[in-house]
């Protein structure tokens, strides 16, 4: 599978998973919201119904004497009351204690005798209401038009008399059911719409999340290709040298020596490259550095200047040090790695500075940081390449650098070491005037 397909497929998979998980979460949340609204409605309606039924019960019950007979005194509680089998009574007089809301169209009151025969009815008159049981306190009933009712049944019993009958108060759930149906509709219709948005957002987010992975994948591919290319060059050169020598019928001692020297050069280049690659891999893998190991930067600077003095002299370059601190400057970290960091910068400065040039290796302290500066009067670096020179195998001018023997890993190694020591490297350069590489390293105990 090619790279484009692989990343596209992974992005699809991530977006689908994201939409799926979000879909489940949204469905469960929608279900929860619906249940919460439904429960709140039911609880409020039941509480109201219970309040009305309780008040009616308390007012009517003391007046009831003969089971199944409704004293006329009870009728004052109801502005409208239908006696069964007598016709409905219509009164304009406001009831003393009857709750007014009962007759605003939402409630009905029924009085039943002990054999559950209807004696009186007030308020709503639902048609074809299912028969109800007088023994069940709370019930849901349905009328002919499929309108649901919530009903409470309370037995009526004067303490001095036997059971009189039952009081039933019911309320229509028409409005509440309509409201809940519209909530259900909104949730059902909104879910697919929300899933479309989640899908689009998932696709976009997956793309964003995969961008750095894609970049490092491409860098890895580039690194593998560059490493293979760099390794192949000395091997191919060595093979060509061997083949040309084998084709010669006879070899003089001088020719044998020259051939061996060429092979040795290729071998050294190859082993240097392998060492650099291994060091980079180690730096990539290495966790936090042991902070108890310390390194004195004055010693490091003077050792490097001493080691490279001969090379500088050979190139007729003036190599000088400028140490601006009196006290020994200690930093935590790996001494060999820090040595390699500064060594790479100084050797580059010597390599990219023409004859009669000058390279300065300076050391100073700025606040809580040790600052090492490698300054040269060399060829300089064009601004557009300055950010790239720290990339692995990157060389500004391949032909020129191949002659100097550089593989393009020197600055990548230097930067990796600086970062491992919680430091950083910056570069300032002007083409044809020179470059200045500055390393900042934290001082643990300033």
Q: CB count, 10 Å around CB of 46?
A: 14
| Residue partners of 94: CB distance under 8 A and separation at least 6 | 79, 100
- Told to check if 407 binds ligand ADP by CB under 6 A, we report yes
Paired residues of 360 in beta bridges: 320, 375
Answer yes or no whether residue 357 interacts with ligand ADP by CB under 6 A. Answer: no
In this structure, how many other beta carbons lie within 10 angstroms of the beta carbon of residue 260? 13
Segment interacting with ligand ADP (CB under 6 A) among 113-121, 213-221, 309-317, 376-384: 376-384
Nearest approach, Cβ of 391 to ligand ADP (angstroms)? 8
For the record, the structure tokens of 321 come out as 């040090």
Binding of ligand ADP at residue 166 (CB under 6 A)? no
Q: Single out the segment in contact with ligand ADP by CB under 6 A; choices: 203-211, 251-259, 261-269, 392-400.
A: 392-400
Q: Which of 106, 153, 375, 401 touches ligand ADP (CB under 6 A)?
A: 401
The residue (of 52 and 439) whose beta carbon lies closer to ligand ADP is 439
Burial 299-317 (b: 16+ CB within 10 A, else e): ebbeebbeebeeebeebeb
Q: How far apart are CA 300 and CA 310, in angstroms?
A: 17
Minimum CB–partner distance for residue 411 and ligand ADP (Å): 3
Contact between 381 and ligand ADP per CB under 6 A: yes
Nearest distance in Å: CB 348, ligand ADP: 3
Instruction: State phi, psi for 277 to the nearest 5 degrees.
Output: -65, -40
> Considering beta carbons, is residue 19 or 381 the nearer one to ligand ADP?
381
* Binding-residue total with ligand ADP (CB under 6 A): 23
Angle at 33 between CA 30 and CA 34, to 5 degrees: 85
- Taking residues 241 to 260 in sequence order and writing x for each that binds ligand ADP by CB under 6 A, - otherwise, the string is --------------------
The piece of 158-166, 252-260, 278-286, 375-383 that touches ligand ADP (CB under 6 A) is 375-383
415 contributes a contact to ligand ADP by CB under 6 A: no
Nearer to ligand ADP, 77 or 394 (CB): 394
Place of tokens 């509480």: 47
Minimum CB–partner distance for residue 240 and ligand ADP (Å) = 23
Q: Which is nearer to ligand ADP, 182 or 404 (CB)?
A: 404
End-to-end Cα, the chain, rounded Å: 55
Question: Which phi and psi angles does 220 have, rounded to 5°?
Answer: -65, -40
Please pick, from the candidates 70, 173, 389, 425, the single residue that binds ligand ADP as defined by CB under 6 A: 389
Q: Within 337-356, which residues bind ligand ADP (CB under 6 A)?
A: 344, 348-349, 352
Instruction: Closer to ligand ADP by CB, 170 or 357: give it.
Output: 357
Note whether 379 binds ligand ADP by CB under 6 A.
yes
Q: Is residue 411 a contact point for ligand ADP (CB under 6 A)?
A: yes
Angular region, 423: left φ>0, alpha ψ -120 to 50, beta rest: beta
Q: Is 393 exposed, middle or buried (0-12, 13-18, 19+ CB in 10 A)?
A: middle
Looking at the DSSP bridge assignments, the partners of residue 120 are 83, 111
Structural tokens at position 193: 């719409």
- Residue 362 lies near ligand ADP (rule: CB under 6 A): no
Contact by Cβ (8 Å): 338, 300: yes
In whole angstroms, the minimum distance from the beta carbon of 395 to ligand ADP comes to 4
Any contact of residue 168 with ligand ADP (CB under 6 A)? no
Burial of 122 (0-12, 13-18, 19+ CB in 10 A): buried
Q: Is 408 in the site for ligand ADP (CB under 6 A)?
A: yes
Q: Where are the beta strands (DSSP E) in 336-411?
A: 358-366, 369-376
Binding-site member from 406, 420, 440, 441 for ligand ADP (CB under 6 A):
406
What's the gap between Cα 50 and its chain centre?
50
Q: Would you give the binding string for ligand ADP spanning residues 294-333, x where CB under 6 A is met?
A: ----------------------------------------
- The tokens describing 300, both together, are 């490091």
Residue numbers at the binding site for ligand ADP (CB under 6 A): 344, 348-349, 352, 376, 378-381, 389, 394-397, 401, 406-412, 435
């Amino acid at each position: 599978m090619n790279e484009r397909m692989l990343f596209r497929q992974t992005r699809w998979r991530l977006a689908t998973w994201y939409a799926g998980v979000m879909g489940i979460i949204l469905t469960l949340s929608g279900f929860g919201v619906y249940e919460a609204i439904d429960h709140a409605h039911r609880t409020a309606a039941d509480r109201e119904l219970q309040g009305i039924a309780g008040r009616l019960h308390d007012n009517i019950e003391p007046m009831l004497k003969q089971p199944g007979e409704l004293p006329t005194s009870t009728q004052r509680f109801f502005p409208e009351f239908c006696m069964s089998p007598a016709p409905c009574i219509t009164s304009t007089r406001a009831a003393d204690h009857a709750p007014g809301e009962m007759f605003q169209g939402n409630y009905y009151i029924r009085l039943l005798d002990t054999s559950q025969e209807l004696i009186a009815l007030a308020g709503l008159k639902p048609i074809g209401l299912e028969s109800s049981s007088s023994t069940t306190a709370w019930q849901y009933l349905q009328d002919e038009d499929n309108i649901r009712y919530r009903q409470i049944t309370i037995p009526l019993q004067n303490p001095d008399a036997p059971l009189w009958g039952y009081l039933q108060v019911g309320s229509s759930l028409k409005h509440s059911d309509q409201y809940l149906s519209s909530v259900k509709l909104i949730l059902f219709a909104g879910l697919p719409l929300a899933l479309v948005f989640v899908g689009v957002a998932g696709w976009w987010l997956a793309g964003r999340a995969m961008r750095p992975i894609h970049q490092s994948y491409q860098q890895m591919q580039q690194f593998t290709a560059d490493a293979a290319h760099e390794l192949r060059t000395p091997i191919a050169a060595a093979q060509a040298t061997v083949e040309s020598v084998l084709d010669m019928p006879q070899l003089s001692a001088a020719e044998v020596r020259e051939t061996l020297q060429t092979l040795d050069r290729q071998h050294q280049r190859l082993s240097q490259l392998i060492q650099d690659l291994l060091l980079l891999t180690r730096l990539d893998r290495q966790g936090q550095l042991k902070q108890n190991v310390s390194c004195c930067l004055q010693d490091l600077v003077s050792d490097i200047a001493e080691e490279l003095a001969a090379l500088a002299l050979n190139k007729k370059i003036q190599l000088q040090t400028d140490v601006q601190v009196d006290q020994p400057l200690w930093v935590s970290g790996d001494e060999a790695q820090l040595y390699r960091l500064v060594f790479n910068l100084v050797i580059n400065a010597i390599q990219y500075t023409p004859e009669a040039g000058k390279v300065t290796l300076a050391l100073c302290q700025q606040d809580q940081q040790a600052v090492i500066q490698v300054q040269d009067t060399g060829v300089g670096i064009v601004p557009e390449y300055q950010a790239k020179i720290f990339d692995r195998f990157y060389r500004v001018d391949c032909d020129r650098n191949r002659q100097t023997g550089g593989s393009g890993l020197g600055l990548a190694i230097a930067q990796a070491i600086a970062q491992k020591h919680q430091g950083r490297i910056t570069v300032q350069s002007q083409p044809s005037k020179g470059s200045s590489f500055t390393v900042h390293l934290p001082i643990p105990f300033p």
